[in-house]
Amino acid sequence: MTYPLHLSIAGKRALVVGAGPVAVRRVDGLLRAGADVVVVAPDARPEILRWAEDGRIAYRARTFDYSDVLGAWLVHATTDDPTVNASVAAEATRRRIWSVRADEADLSSARTPAVLDLSGAVVSVSTGDPRRSAALRDGIGARLASGELHARPRRPRASGSVVLIGGGPGDPDLVTVRGRRELLEADVIVYDRLAPLALLDEVDPGVELIDAGKSPGHHALTQDQINDVLVARARQGLRVARFKGGDPFVLGRGSEEVLACDAAGIPVEVVPGISSAVAGPAAAGIPVTHRGLSSGFVVLSGHVVGDVEAVARTGLTVVVLMGVATLPELVGKFVAAGRAPSTPVAIVHRASTPEQRVVVGTLADIEARRAAADVANPSVIVIGDVVSVAPALAWELAS
């Protein structure tokens, strides 16, 4: 059993016996810690020689002598000769100086851990097996980078800002790495009901959560109130995350929030998300483009059906977000504009989540099929021949 300790060695002497690849790594770490480094070895790697020429270390081009440990606070034995390493460690121990053997960690009075530097926060891993320690360190680093593991920094009050985060189509695993990391580092989270709310279970208990959800006929907060909350919390010096479903700039009113923050002088940035306009159909196996069928797609809001004649005549795939309530009007306008009643249509409800359901039909019968399936918003509607590309859906269309 060892006692973990981080050593402050700035301005103190550290002796490194050996000048090979291991020594280079140890010297580099000691220099970054501000140590006064002395290297003893008959021959040295170019890096060692360069540091010596630059005056950053003292290099003694000879074999180890017991007197080399005098005045040292820490000794590293890094040669490829176990006998020499043992002699170095023994002499250091005799003089009550901490020593590290690169070849036999268990025979050392000290160990060097595998280190991960997180901008001032240092994670060190020591197992006695350098390879295992490095693997564990790398695993921790990967989880931190992905957002699975987080260490939320404490920001000074003067650094208030806002970040808009696109949460993707619904599955928490489909949020971006950057989005997840920003969410976990926030002081305040203003969230919509269509964001992957399971991710809120991962944030620190002290984070303020504000429900700004909107549903047909009910708004927890109006858009103006949301803008005011973002600005007010940021002015308190807090990091504010605006957490939305899909992508903030695809029918998400994210640009309005950016403009409000900018007008108030609040630093604001956007972390894009996977838009439901593409991910919703994909979750059902429907491509929004397909060679020979559609060379492009158009995204429409379903809250209010405007003039769709120009869109309907293009023959492009049409993706409608949140359009179930206006589906009869939407269908009527597409048929009136010239789209054939036999045009395939799919409704993907709660795409990418365990509650996902898909209803398939044509412009002629999709409303009846939707009513029979009792599907409502949130849903993505896809109009076009691309619906028939998915084998399972094509079979249903033909039946």
Known catalytic residues?
Answer: 192, 214
What CA–CA distances, in Å, run from 54 to 8, 26, 50, 309?
A: 24, 18, 6, 74
Say if CB 189 and CB 183 are below 8 A apart.
yes
User: Residue 274: which of 253, 252, 301 has the closest Cα?
Assistant: 252
Distance CA 380, CA 324 (A): 8
How many CB atoms neighbour CB 103 within 10 A? 17
Distance CA 59, CA 44 (A): 9
Per DSSP, what are the bridge partners of residue 161?
Answer: 239
Distance CA 367, CA 350 (A): 18
How many CB atoms neighbour CB 198 within 10 A? 12
User: Residue 277: which of 331, 312, 317, 326 has the closest Cα?
Assistant: 317
Distance CA 388, CA 141 (A): 44
Chain centre distance of CA 292:
37
The phi and psi torsions of 345 (rounded to 5 degrees) equal -140, 140
Say if CB 274 and CB 246 are below 8 A apart.
yes
SS3 of residue 109 by DSSP: coil
Say if CB 277 and CB 319 are below 8 A apart.
yes
CA torsion sign, 221 to 226 to 228 to 233? positive
Distance CA 35, CA 210 (A): 49
Say if CB 339 and CB 345 are below 8 A apart.
no
Residue 304 exposed, middle or buried by CB count within 10 Å (0-12, 13-18, 19+):
exposed
